[in-house]
Amino acid sequence: MTKYPIHIGGRWVPSEGGQTYTAVNPATQQPIGQVQQGTREDVRHAVAAARAAQPTLTAMNVWERSALLLQLADAIAAHREELAEILTLEQGHVYRTESLPEVDTAIDMWRESAELGKWLETACIPVRDPHKRVVTLRQPRGVYAVLTPFNFPIAIPSEYLPAALVTGNTCVWVPSPTTSICAVKLLEALLEGGLPEGFINLVTGPGAVVGDELVGHPDVDGVACTGGTATGRKVAERAAGKPLLLELGGNGPSVVLDDADLERAAQLLGECSFYAGGQVCSATERILVQRKLYEPLVEALAENARGWVVGDPMAEATTLGPLNNPGVVRKMQEHLEDAVGRGAEVVCGGRQPEQLLRWPALRRTAG
């Protein structure tokens, strides 16, 4: 089985502890690779490597950094299908409708950061003395900790990493343990595209170890994290005093008023609820509807739900893939049981599909 190393200071290396864990395909529950279980010492090495590389990045002017990002975006584009397949294999995204669009989104993000970074504005502030002005300058912070979740393991890192690089900050990246191969494959593409050593360092492993060590490290100058609210609290506490960029959980409602196009509303609500298995930060989690539309909307939503095809996420006909990991499955089951216990009625689904563990193997292996 393929072993996936961590990346520190321009070199692919095993973990200091020598331990690995098994990555599994969520659609088949079959093992797809061995991932390094990073240690606190690995994180310290990675931070040191990022710190050592940071003067080189800072010395590049923003146009040079922008050109580098465009070059890296092209490298991701050159591996579009490969990255989409590993997304399907390890995350569970439907290849045609979810994985390929996610990679395309990531490519756009690298290109957008390349352009936006060149036009960041600063202020010139008038003061009491009419012959003087206060001019502000943007300077890199230094080393950023980047922590990313399992739901969009190519796109969400692409929100943080290029923005950090174009503004002169090196990174140490800790991805979700259940989508770490995706991180390795993305970094491989970036390195092939000419990413200099030490600019992005990757340490895989449990968040309670490698994430905890990273955000609290005294040589980390800022922290960017997408994750759950509980995780965000821990990160904020551990990184107290550092600049934080946290995108955490929510419970955003959709509102349907009595003048709505019911068919269109049901279609959009279905997409917002079931896309990527509902594992989306901005997914519809509550629907507030005017009373007279309640029953027809429930029926329209049930009809929409019946149209989603559960199956092998590489298959053309499939529109709904698996949940990514056992924790999410348990959480979904708990939500369902809680709702029924409070008087909810299940009008469609409500059980795990019988074919869950019998889907055919995907077209490629992770290796």
Query: The domain spanning residue 324 has which CATH number?
Result: 3.40.309.10
**Across 24-35, average pLDDT:** 94
Q: Which of the listed residues 247, 272, 293 is the one where a domain comes to its end?
A: 247
Residue 30 and residue 62 in one domain: yes
> Predicted confidence band at 251 (pLDDT cuts at 50, 70, 90)?
confident
> How far apart, in whole angstroms, are the C-alpha atoms of residue 20 and residue 8?
17
> Is 34 in the same domain as 60?
yes
- Under the banding of pLDDT at 50, 70 and 90, the label for residue 354 is low
Is 323 in the same domain as 236?
no
- Whether the predicted pLDDT of 356 surpasses 70: no
- Of residues 253 and 71, more confidently modeled: 71
Tell me: do 48 and 20 sit in the same domain.
Answer: yes
- Where is average pLDDT lowest: 43-47, 81-85, 360-364? 360-364
Q: Model-level pTM greater than 0.85?
A: yes
Q: Is the pLDDT of residue 367 over 80?
A: no
Q: Same domain, yes or no, for 209 and 274? A: no
Is 361 a residue whose pLDDT tops 60?
A: no
If one compares 327 and 40, the residue with the highest pLDDT of the two is 40
Residues 136 and 45 in one domain: yes
Can you tell me whether residue 59 is helix, strand or coil? helix
CB-based burial label for 125 (10 Å; 0-12, 13-18, 19+): exposed
| 90 lies in the same domain as 211 | yes
- Residue 333's domain spans which residues? 259-341
Angle (CA) 154 3 80, round 5° = 30
Residues 122 and 161 in one domain: yes
Signed CA dihedral, 266, 272, 273, 274: sign only:
positive
Last residue of a domain, one of 247, 280, 311: 247
Q: How far apart are CA 322 and CA 267, in angstroms?
A: 21
Count of structural domains, the chain: 2
The CATH number of the domain holding residue 191 is 3.40.605.10
Looking at the fold, whether 280 and 228 belong to one and the same domain comes out as no
Quick one: pLDDT band at residue 366, thresholds 50, 70, 90?
very low
